[in-house]
Every structure is written in C-alpha cells, then in structure tokens.
Homo-oligomer: A and B are copies of this chain.
C-alpha cells in the first residue's frame, strides 16, 4: 500500500482541468507512489468512434485501486447516451451501490441561505444515495412514439437486497458519527410499494444499531428542511433519484456545486470505487481555467479515505478548509486554486 494505481477519466468540458488539479494535490499529499492511467472517454471519443465504454476498457478499469472522474456530458451528444452507457454503466457494473455525498458548510464559505437565521449550528451531514437501482435502471419503454397516443413509462426497481445494503452502510456511517442520527427520505405516502420496502428495511436494519436514532421525511418536505433547518440532518439515506435531487440542493446550500464531492463506492471492495465532483462538464466555461477544482480535490480526499489513507485525506480537507477560509471575493484560476491547496497539504 505504498502505491496508488489510479484510473483517470478526465471526460468532457471542465473535467480534464479539474482532474489535473485533483491529481496535483494527490501527488503533493501522498507518500505513496501514484501511478495514473488516462482513459479517453466521453463526447470526443463518441464523436470519433461511436464508442462510449468499450468492454475492454471496462475490464481495464477493474484493475485499478480507484477511479478519478472529472465530468461526462456534452450538448452535442444526444441526451442520455453518455450518461447511461458510460457514467451509469460504470456505476452499475462496478457495483457502486453507495453514492456518498457529504454536505458540509466550511467556515468562510457564503451560501444563498441566511445562515445566521436558519443554520446557526452549521451544516454537516452526509447523504448515502443508493447507486444501482430506483428509477435509474433504464427499465421502462415507449409506445406509439410521435403519435397523439404515445405512452412512455419509467420503472423504478427496488429490491430488499439493494435497499438493505445501502441502509446498512448508512447506519454504520451514522453509528461512527457524533450525533448518530439517520433520516430516511422517500415518498411512501404515494410510492407505497417502494416506500414500504425502504421503511421496513430501515426499521429492521435499525435493530442492529440501537444507538442510532432515526426519523423520516417525505422528499418534498425534505427540500423545505434543507433550506429552513439543514442542521437537523446528520446522515440521510435515500434512493437513487431522490438522492440525485437532494444532493444538488445540499450542494447549493453549502456553497454550490463547485465544492461538492462524491464517491461512487463499492464497500465490498471487489471492484474499484470511483470519485467525482457532483458538478457537470460546464461546457460554457471549459478551457478557460475558470472552473473551481475544489469539488474534485475534496473527491480526492474521499478517495484517499476509501483507500484507508485517512491521515492524507484529513490533510487535504484541512488544506481545502484553510483555502476556503481565506478566499474572500478574489477570482483565481483553476490552477491557482489547485496550487494553493497543494501547497497547503504539506
């Protein structure tokens, strides 16, 4: 474990720029020998070859300790193609059943909220989003497309197996935290089949974690809590789609998606986990060194923690925290931010 063998997918738009800064910080902080393999995947490759994720590449990815991803997606590619055939395919095939998304308001970071009023105790929670089921499986279909009688369905698939492993992971995370509190977010008053499965799973797995308190919020009400009283949350567990929605909102209230990190994690470690900023490829600012690499750098901290390199992870977080505290309103380039944080990890 004195080497880290990383697969790197820069991807589209600002992806390669922010990934470069993430790697810069990783090299600066880690005592390990970091070796990287770049994979050219995303819009460019699709336009050139029609390929999204060749099977051989997927097999190669498996051979790494972890994957660092920048961003995938470009308006020139039909909606859904890269998302489903590349990003979601990796998440599904590599069993990334935990999509982990911390939401933490760092000192000095400004947010759209009147924080003094609604979050005097700060914001510090983590969302455990299920990553392989729900409405994300691609089940569904369309009939009579283009006619007045068109019908389109989307099927949300939820298994006890899938919910339980996400819920158990979330309980374990709650157990390890100071407040030991878990909130299930769903919509069980309308989505009764899936909702009851999730509720019962939380009740039953909860027996194994008697110290963890639990509560429940419908997803609509949860968005209200997230802006009116975000301090109430400690660990959130939820399905793939609700998790997608609440983590973007969670990012917004903690300083924006320029700061939001994520890990697509296989806790069983039979495959490499993948770390990526929550933001997208932002083609409008690509190539201008305007993107904030902080979300990627915090994703690198999550990657280090996942590899058991907790001290290095903490040093990255501290360097980010220090940099954020002193940012003020000054505008810096992508590389300047990366340089400053890399200098701070020593």
Pick from B142, B154, B159, B246: contact of A151, CB below 8 A. B159
Q: A241 to chain B: which residues have CB within 8 Å?
A: 187, 190
Q: A164-197, CB under 8 A of B: which get 1 and which 0?
A: 1000000000000000000000011111111111
The verdict on A323 contacting chain B, using a C-beta distance below 8 Å, is: no
Known: A117-B112, A147-B160, A223-B223. A188 touches B154 (CB 8 A): no
Are A244 and B196 in contact, with the CB atoms below 8 A? Answer: no
Are A197 and B158 in contact, with the CB atoms below 8 A? Answer: no
Are B155 and A79 in contact, with the CB atoms below 8 A? Answer: no
Pick from B84, B160, B244: contact of A150, CB below 8 A. B160
A205 to chain B, nearest CB (A): 12
The verdict on A140 contacting chain B, using a C-beta distance below 8 Å, is: yes
Q: A200 to chain B: which residues have CB within 8 Å?
A: 146
Q: For chain A, which range describes its interface: under 10, 10 to 19, 20 to 34, or 35 or more residues?
A: 35 or more
Pick from B84, B153, B195: contact of A79, CB below 8 A. B195
Closest to A199 in B: B79
Pick from B88, B118, B153: contact of A194, CB below 8 A. B153
Pick from B148, B153, B194, B251: contact of A158, CB below 8 A. B153
Complex copy number for this chain: 2
Are A221 and B193 in contact, with the CB atoms below 8 A? Answer: no
Q: A219 to chain B: which residues have CB within 8 Å?
A: 244-245
Pick from B110, B196, B224: contact of A257, CB below 8 A. B224
CA distance A219 to B248 in the complex (A): 9
Q: A154 to chain B: which residues have CB within 8 Å?
A: 135, 155-156, 158, 191, 193-194
Known: A155-B155, A256-B228. A223 touches B195 (CB 8 A): no
Q: A248 to chain B: which residues have CB within 8 Å?
A: 220-221, 223-224
The verdict on A58 contacting chain B, using a C-beta distance below 8 Å, is: no
CA distance A84 to B161 in the complex (A): 27
Are A152 and B197 in contact, with the CB atoms below 8 A? Answer: yes
Q: A84 to chain B: which residues have CB within 8 Å?
A: 190, 192
Are A80 and B188 in contact, with the CB atoms below 8 A? Answer: yes
List A70-87 residues whose CB lies under 8 Å from chain B: 73, 79-80, 83-84
A194 to chain B, nearest CB (A): 5
Are B161 and A148 in contact, with the CB atoms below 8 A? Answer: yes
Are A227 and B245 in contact, with the CB atoms below 8 A? Answer: no
Q: A164 to chain B: which residues have CB within 8 Å?
A: 148
Are B160 and A149 in contact, with the CB atoms below 8 A? Answer: yes
CA distance A244 to B221 in the complex (A): 10
Closest to A243 in B: B220
The verdict on A4 contacting chain B, using a C-beta distance below 8 Å, is: no
- 12 pairs, A vs B, C-beta closer than 8 Å: A84-B190, A135-B154, A145-B197, A149-B160, A153-B158, A220-B245, A223-B246, A223-B249, A224-B251, A227-B252, A228-B256, A249-B249
Instruction: Known A-B contacts: A149-B159, A227-B253. Give 4 more (CB < 8 A).
Output: A79-B196, A110-B117, A153-B194, A223-B252
What 7 A-B pairs are tightest by C-beta distance, nearest first?
A150-B160, A220-B248, A223-B249, A152-B193, A154-B156, A80-B192, A224-B252
